[in-house]
Amino acid sequence: MPPQEKSFASNVPILIVVFVLLCAVSIWMYSAGLFGSRAQAPVGETQTAPKEVTTVNSTDLAQKSDREQLPAGFPSDIPVDTTNKLSQSYVLAFPDRGVNQYTVEFNTKLSAQAQYKTYLDFMTANGYTFGESGKNANASLYGTKNNDDLSVVFSSQNGVTTVSISYLDRQ
**Does residue 8 lie within any of the structural domains?**
no
pLDDT on residue 117: 95
Number of domains in the chain: 1
Residue 37 CB contacts under 8 Å (≥ 6 apart), including other chains: none
CATH code (residue 128): 3.30.310
**Does residue 2 lie within any of the structural domains?**
no
Average pLDDT, the chain: 83
pLDDT on residue 165: 96
**Does residue 111 lie within any of the structural domains?**
yes
**Does residue 32 lie within any of the structural domains?**
no
pLDDT on residue 5: 54
**Does residue 31 lie within any of the structural domains?**
no
pLDDT on residue 68: 86
Contact 90, 101 (CB under 8 A): no
**Does residue 150 lie within any of the structural domains?**
yes
Q: Whole-model pTM?
A: 0.68
pLDDT on residue 132: 84
Which DSSP letter does residue 68 get? G
**Does residue 35 lie within any of the structural domains?**
no
Distance in angstroms between the alpha carbons of the first and the last residue of the chain: 89
**Positions of the chain with pLDDT lower than 50, given as ranges:** none
Give the range of the structural domain holding residue 81, as residue numbers without chain letter.
Answer: 55-170
**Does residue 66 lie within any of the structural domains?**
yes
